[in-house]
Structure 1
Amino acid sequence: MEYLVIAFIGFLFLVYSISIRQLERTEITGPMFFVIGGVLLAFILPNEGEKLKAGIDYLLPLIELTLSIFLFSDAAKSKLGVLKHSFQYPSLLLFVALPLTLLFGTAVSLFLFAELSLIQSALLAIILTPTDAALSKGLLQSTQVPEKIREGINTESGLNDGLCVPIFLIFIMLAKNPDTAITASHFVNVFSRELGYAMLIAGISIALFIPALNFAMQRHYFAKNTSPFLLLGFAMAVFSITQYFHGSGFIAVFVAGLLFDKFSETDVRTELIEDSEHLADFTSLMIWCLFGFVCVYLVIPKLNTNIFVYALLSTTLIRIIPVMLSLLFTTLNWKERFTFAWFGPRGLASIVFTLMVIDTQIENKYDIATIAMTTILFSVFIHGISTKPIADSFAQKSQ
């Protein structure tokens, strides 16, 4: 069975690589293509779902590392000069829209799912609060879209993953021990530790890495064919060390990426990032294929009206309303505010959180996972299909 799965995934990569330009013209993104491929694989192997479900938690480290590489590379491509003038937008998204999204998501969950407690509803909401800019790559790469929007969405996506981690951990603790009271001071301690260790390790690692990189380049210590491994290995190390010390690895790699963008040489940075991203793309597409496979067993059998409604609302209004409110008094026009609000796709971070819930003994954990995965599935297609038309609308306006 394993070789048949590998052969099928290899065939998907072959078809995707050969037809990528045609797929882009039809507005089919890489995650969409591989999710569909995973669904087809589940129908080809109808009796193998339970084996994969039983071992899906072993994929968690791979998904975490893949996400960390994307966060680092996205941050390393950020234009800090733009952020100096437009940092108000990601700040509003992180500190106003994010809490409101969490509250809205919890309230809607309580209304639709009587079987979920308050803590379980909050846990579901925080799983679906982080965004994944990689699913809107077409928008971020479009030069027709204003830089302040692209960089704002990218920065929010990079930081909200890490900011949600300590909140997620608090809800996990509460869900595991519903009769145990978690004080405000405990919450502050967890959040401060996660953020503090992340910032410290990111700063130290960059202070060591950039001089070492410059030294190696001046003396030609590494070959071009090994250059993709430099940033890949660095991001993996920063993430893993931070996690070991109970900090937020996601914040650490994003901050390290911002510092790398600030202090490294432009030509070197661009080449190294492009090389490492190709490897990360390969891994992420495999993850989306496996996600599609698992959805056939976790989502389709349990899909009902309430789950459908929640997934649709979480993908749209639960994100749109808080963001529109948070940006209400900015100088952005209506279309720019809506673009910020619309592009909150759920991706690898939400998958990581979902797998972490499945790996616990929390009551109703499979109900939470099913709702979360349904929302992620909706997001892959809704945001994937809408990326190109919205990006093109900015191009038409500039003509």
Structure 2
Amino acid sequence: MDHEIVILAIFAFLYSIVAGKTERSVFSGPVIFVFVGILMGPLVLGWFEGVAARNQLRMFADLTLVLILFSDAANVDLSVLRSRIAIPSRMLLVGLPGVIALGFILALVLFDTLTFFEAAILGTVLAATDAALGKSVISDTRLPSWVRVGLNSESGLNDGLCVPFLFIFIALELNAIGLSENPVEPLLVVVQEVGIGLAAGLGLALIGGLLLRLSLKLGWVTEVWMQVTVPALALACFALAQELHGSGYIAAFCGGMLFGHLLDDKTHQFVVAAEGVGETLAMITWLLFGSAVIANVIGLVTWEVLAYAVLSLTVIRVLPIFLSLAGTGATVRDRLFLGWFGPRGLASIVFAIIVLDSELQGAPFIALVVIVTVVFSLVAHGFSARPMTAWLVGQKAVDK
């Protein structure tokens, strides 16, 4: 165990001193972390044993996702969001159901081992996009602010909106195979997940934000402890919503948005600490993913799995989002760009673990498809971020 900590600490230090250079290259942080995890794992050097329990991976993935959701939401420019609210609302209310439906249909076509509801589960798990993997695009100031805010808002909320549908489909499958006798009330599940998530996130953020403003006015906040404020509040929003059976992801994102509004120009100095913690947790999560997960599934991949992974990142995601943005004023390039940047990552991994814990017959196969899709997404979205941004920015310059 000690030697693994030494290796991890040295790698974290070395990456931290070249992160600025790396972020300006085509190699994204997660791609590097996964590659290093594979290199250090049992497939190559064997420095890491490659054993990670589901709960360990889920814990790191949840913590990472929560901090990034809260931080990104706190930095959202609400005036820009209000002016172009049609973009994220169309993507969430029209595009997201379309992605789930198309993913479900193609899963039924390609995988005869999956049942009706298991195919729906797979479509839902891979409909959630990753705010962490999209960070390089969301934070690129060369892009129009409405594009960045639209992607940020969509990725921040769509995983929370996928949660109730995931639980509904799991419950329906358990009912279908006779492992559960509890009837499913879809509308109640959706209202509970979304409503409780909103209430918990906004309630805690309001109380926390007002207390922090008072503390700042009284001069009680210190430079050391201000680094704890946002991570603690973000985790509190998530944990309270989860404890009350709501969506912790919706709570974290909506709480972060309200917190940013309440703190206004002081938001950045509080959020930057959370971003640092989030990046560190992301590094650990992706290293675990590379060393412990990929090594266990690499020999199980079939051409059908590869085909579905490619379709998930292209047709299944891009077509519904592209169609959902018709009539919003977004150009064809804008719509293609917004459709393409729906990377799959931490949220899909967490959802796959939830499915595995449900012990459905098709759960291991669903997890396999998710893992392969996430790996493809890491590479495809990581390497395409800068070229695609330049493509869109270049077109904007021509339009002007």
- TM class, shorter-length: over 0.9
Hey, what's the Cα distance between the residues in 2 that align with 1:156 and 1:388?
Answer: 20
Give the one of 276, 281, 284 matched to 2:282. Answer: 284
Residue 265 of structure 1 aligns to a residue whose secondary structure is helix
Hey, what's the Cα distance between the residues in 2 that align with 1:25 and 1:221?
Answer: 38
Q: What is the one-letter code of the residue matched to 1:231?
A: V
Match of 2:353?
A: 355
Hey, what's the Cα distance between the residues in 2 that align with 1:78 and 1:63?
Answer: 22
Match of 1:161?
A: 159
Q: Contact 2:171–2:184 at 8 Å: present in 1 too? A: no
By how many angstroms is 1:185 displaced?
Answer: 7.5
Residues 394, 112 of structure 1: alpha-carbon distance in 2 compared, 3 angstrom cutoff: closer
Match of 1:171?
A: 169
Match of 2:338?
A: 340
Hey, what's the Cα distance between the residues in 2 that align with 1:244 and 1:352?
Answer: 17
Hey, what's the Cα distance between the residues in 2 that align with 1:23 and 1:204?
Answer: 38
Is the counterpart of residue 382 in structure 1 residue 383 in structure 2? Answer: no
Is the counterpart of residue 199 in structure 1 residue 175 in structure 2? Answer: no
By how many angstroms is 1:209 displaced?
Answer: 1.0
Match of 2:218?
A: 219
Is the counterpart of residue 48 in structure 1 residue 46 in structure 2? Answer: no
TM-score, L = length of structure 2: 0.93
Residue 346 of structure 1 aligns to a residue whose secondary structure is coil
By how many angstroms is 1:301 displaced?
Answer: 1.1
Q: What is the one-letter code of the residue matched to 1:251?
A: I
Residues 298, 178 of structure 1: alpha-carbon distance in 2 compared, 3 angstrom cutoff: farther
Hey, what's the Cα distance between the residues in 2 that align with 1:392 and 1:47?
Answer: 38
Q: May I ask how many residue pairs the two structures share in their alignment?
A: 394
Residue 326 of structure 2 aligns to a residue whose secondary structure is coil
Q: Percent identity?
A: 33
Q: How does 1:259-274 map to 2 (within 5 A)?
A: 259-266=258-265, 268-274=266-272
Q: What is the one-letter code of the residue matched to 2:340?
A: W
By how many angstroms is 1:120 displaced?
Answer: 0.9
Q: How does 1:1-399 map to 2 (within 5 A)?
A: 2-42=1-41, 43-45=44-46, 48-49=49-50, 51-52=51-52, 55-179=53-177, 186-266=185-265, 268-397=266-395, 398=397
Residues 314, 191 of structure 1: alpha-carbon distance in 2 compared, 3 angstrom cutoff: same
Residue 61 of structure 1 aligns to a residue whose secondary structure is helix
Residues 122, 144 of structure 1: alpha-carbon distance in 2 compared, 3 angstrom cutoff: same
| Cα-to-partner distance string for 1:120-146 (whole Å, 9 max, x where unaligned) | 111111111111132122221222211
By how many angstroms is 1:292 displaced?
Answer: 1.1
| Cα-to-partner distance string for 1:303-327 (whole Å, 9 max, x where unaligned) | 1111111111111111011111111
Residues 187, 156 of structure 1: alpha-carbon distance in 2 compared, 3 angstrom cutoff: same
By how many angstroms is 1:56 displaced?
Answer: 2.5
By how many angstroms is 1:381 displaced?
Answer: 0.8
Hey, what's the Cα distance between the residues in 2 that align with 1:191 and 1:25?
Answer: 40
Q: Contact 2:231–2:274 at 8 Å: present in 1 too? A: yes
Hey, what's the Cα distance between the residues in 1 that align with 2:380 and 2:73?
Answer: 25
By how many angstroms is 1:153 displaced?
Answer: 0.4
Hey, what's the Cα distance between the residues in 2 that align with 1:38 and 1:390?
Answer: 27
By how many angstroms is 1:183 displaced?
Answer: 10
Farther-moved stretch of structure 1 (163-172 vs 255-264) = 255-264
Q: What is the one-letter code of the residue matched to 1:208?
A: I
Q: Contact 2:201–2:238 at 8 Å: present in 1 too? A: no
Hey, what's the Cα distance between the residues in 2 that align with 1:201 and 1:342?
Answer: 32
| Cα-to-partner distance string for 1:26-68 (whole Å, 9 max, x where unaligned) | 310100000001111222228934x43xx22233233212211
Farther-moved stretch of structure 1 (319-328 vs 204-213) = 204-213
Farther-moved stretch of structure 1 (138-147 vs 248-257) = 138-147
Hey, what's the Cα distance between the residues in 1 that align with 2:198 and 2:17?
Answer: 42
Residues 25, 66 of structure 1: alpha-carbon distance in 2 compared, 3 angstrom cutoff: closer
By how many angstroms is 1:182 displaced?
Answer: 9.5
Farther-moved stretch of structure 1 (18-27 vs 64-73) = 18-27
TM-score, L = length of structure 1: 0.93
Q: Contact 1:65–1:239 at 8 Å: present in 2 too? A: no
Q: Contact 1:83–1:151 at 8 Å: present in 2 too? A: yes
Hey, what's the Cα distance between the residues in 2 that align with 1:127 and 1:182?
Answer: 24
Hey, what's the Cα distance between the residues in 1 that align with 2:305 and 2:47?
Answer: 24
Residue 116 of structure 1 aligns to a residue whose secondary structure is coil
Q: What is the one-letter code of the residue matched to 2:191?
A: S
Farther-moved stretch of structure 1 (364-373 vs 218-227) = 218-227
Q: What is the one-letter code of the residue matched to 2:106?
A: V
RMSD, aligned α-carbons: 2.0
| Cα-to-partner distance string for 1:183-215 (whole Å, 9 max, x where unaligned) | 997100011111111222223212311221022
Structure 1, unaligned runs of 5 or more: none
Residue 141 of structure 2 aligns to a residue whose secondary structure is coil
Hey, what's the Cα distance between the residues in 1 that align with 2:209 and 2:322?
Answer: 39
Hey, what's the Cα distance between the residues in 1 that align with 2:7 and 2:358?
Answer: 31
By how many angstroms is 1:356 displaced?
Answer: 1.4
Structure 2, unaligned runs of 5 or more: none
Farther-moved stretch of structure 1 (221-230 vs 154-163) = 221-230
Q: What is the one-letter code of the residue matched to 2:88?
A: P
Q: Contact 1:138–1:391 at 8 Å: present in 2 too? A: no
By how many angstroms is 1:302 displaced?
Answer: 0.6
Hey, what's the Cα distance between the residues in 2 that align with 1:113 and 1:47?
Answer: 34
Q: What is the one-letter code of the residue matched to 2:157?
A: L
Hey, what's the Cα distance between the residues in 2 that align with 1:338 and 1:254?
Answer: 25
